[in-house]
Amino acid sequence: MSEAVKSINPVPYHASNWLSKVIVRPIQRKDLLALEWDGEYNHFRRVYLEVFRRMRSGLAIMWAADLPEEGIIGQVFVQYSSSRQELADGQNRAYVHSFRVKRPYRGAGLGSKLMNVAETGLIQRGYKYVTLNVSHTNPGARHLYSRLGYRVVGPDPGIWSYHDDRGVLQQVNDPGWRMQKRL
C-alpha cells in the first residue's frame, strides 16, 4: 500500500479484526508523548503528566487502547478523588475524563470497550457511581454515554483551567452536561 493511501485510510483491518487486536492497558510513562496524537493534543502535555503522577500515587488510572503496529488509538482517564466531591469522592464516586478515540477508529465499538474496562476497574475498587462531563458541542459522545447507561444529572458550566505545554495558563469555557451512571 502506498504511503498516500495509508495516510488517507489508516485503519489497516476490517473493524471486527482490528478491534479484537486492541489491548486496553494502563498507560506507562513512555506512552505520554503518544497521548499528544502527533501534536493535536500537545497543549495537554502537562495535564497528562500530572494525571500520570496521580496514577503513580494511586489517585487515578489512565487507560490506553493500544493497537499493535499502530500504537495508542484511544484513551480514558479515571480520577478516584477530587476537590470537587460531586465529581469524585475517593470512595463511592469516580470521575471519567480525557476520553478519546482517534477518528478513523470511531463507531466500531472501541469507545464502549474502553469505558467497559474503566467501569470494571471501578467496580473492582468498590465504586458505586461514575460521573463525567460532556460538552454541548459533542452530541456524538453524549449519545454514546446514554447508550452505555449514563444519565444527565444536571448542567456543567465547563469552566476550568490548565497550564499548556509552554507553561501558559489556559482558561476553558465549554458548557455541557454532567452525566452519571450507577455501577
Around Cβ 74, how many Cβ atoms within 10 Å? 21
Instruction: Give 57-109 pLDDT, tens digit per residue.
Output: 999 999 999 999 899 999 999 999 999 999 999 999 999 999 999 999 999 99
50, 111, 134 from 24: Cα distances, Å: 21, 11, 22
Could you give the domains of the chain? Answer: 3-132+140-148 (3.40.630.30)
C-alpha cell at 61: 488510572
pLDDT band at 17 (very low <50, low <70, confident <90, very high): confident
pTM beyond 0.75: the answer is yes
Q: Which residues contact 14 (CB under 8 A, 6 or more apart)?
A: none
**pLDDT above 70: percentage of residues in the chain:** 91
Q: Which residues contact 157 (CB under 8 A, 6 or more apart)?
A: 173, 175
Report the alpha-carbon distance of residue 164 to residue 178 in Å, rounded. Answer: 25
Query: pLDDT at position 71, please?
Result: 96
